[in-house]
Amino acid sequence: MINDHMEKPPVGRSKPLITNIMWRNLISQALYQVVMLLTLQFKGEAIFGVNEKVKDTLLFNTFVFCQVFNEFNSRKLEKKNVFEGILRNKLFMGIIGVTVVLQVVKVEFLKKFAVIFKAYDIGGHGKVTFNDIIEVLRDLTGSFMSEKQREQILSHVLEEAGYPTASSLLLDDFIKILGNSGVKMDVEIPVD
């Protein structure tokens, strides 16, 4: 994979940062998402026979999973098979896994965060530490991610939410971090 990059000629300073292939992918993904989300917004209740609250959850899930699938499409811009070598990139797979797990947790278990919070409040003092959350990630990811990768991801999420890794989080902080739409899930993914 690295050899592919080494075989390409250098790109000059005057060349555009966003290539034609990138524009193609951006426009096609944007059009797909706009059509899907607008269809769900205005016809979702009739299509799926659900109430407005369920439709809104469906709309949110669709948006998040469109972003997940866009991550796959963005791995290799010029290749048709974006899944080539995907299992060798454990960091990418770990981030996708954590994103999907957190999405399921947010939608299905948001009301149960207090129970989850209490289960990982090892000291029983109403606070969760960095190490407590690492334990959760360790349980969720098993041997699929290294300890260093878990710590990097958690440090990044806490930093984006404005919390240092030494923080002891109260339940409100815990819910804010996991439920905060302002937390960016942008992480640079090295391509094999």
Angular region, 170: left φ>0, alpha ψ -120 to 50, beta rest = beta
Within this chain, do residues 127 and 52 fall inside the same structural domain, yes or no?
no
Structural domain boundaries, residue 151:
93-192
Q: What is the model's pLDDT at position 43?
A: 93
On average, the pLDDT of the chain sits at 78
Specify the residue for token string 């299992």: 87
Of 183 and 88, the one with more pLDDT: 88
Q: Could you give the number of structural domains in the chain?
A: 2
Share of the chain above pLDDT 70, in %: 80
Of the residues 40, 67, 84, which one is the last residue of a structural domain?
84
Within this chain, do residues 30 and 121 fall inside the same structural domain, yes or no?
no
Average pLDDT for residues 51-73, to the nearest whole number? Answer: 87
Within this chain, do residues 37 and 62 fall inside the same structural domain, yes or no?
yes
Q: How do residues 89-128 score in pLDDT, each as one tens digit?
A: 888 888 888 888 888 877 776 655 566 666 666 666 777 7
Query: What is the C-alpha separation between 67 and 94, in angstroms, rounded?
Result: 15
- Exposed (0-12), middle (13-18) or buried (19+): which is 145, by Cβ within 10 Å? buried
Write 56-63 long-range contacts (CB < 8 A, 24+): 57/107, 60/107, 61/103, 61/107, 62/36, 62/37, 63/33, 63/37
Within this chain, do residues 98 and 75 fall inside the same structural domain, yes or no?
no
Any alpha helices (H) in the chain, and if so which ranges?
Answer: 2-7, 20-48, 52-75, 90-109, 113-119, 130-141, 147-161, 171-179
Q: How do residues 77-96 score in pLDDT, each as one tens digit?
A: 777 777 888 888 888 888 88
Within this chain, do residues 60 and 148 fall inside the same structural domain, yes or no?
no
Of the residues 84, 117, 140, which one is the last residue of a structural domain?
84
Within this chain, do residues 102 and 42 fall inside the same structural domain, yes or no?
no
Within this chain, do residues 115 and 174 fall inside the same structural domain, yes or no?
yes
Name the amino acid, one letter, at 107.
Answer: V
Within this chain, do residues 101 and 28 fall inside the same structural domain, yes or no?
no
CATH number assigned to the domain comprising residue 114 = 1.10.238.10
Within this chain, do residues 128 and 165 fall inside the same structural domain, yes or no?
yes
Q: How do residues 21-46 score in pLDDT, each as one tens digit?
A: 888 888 988 999 999 999 999 999 99
Within this chain, do residues 104 and 179 fall inside the same structural domain, yes or no?
yes
Reported residue count of the chain is: 192
Name the amino acid, one letter, at 13.
Answer: R
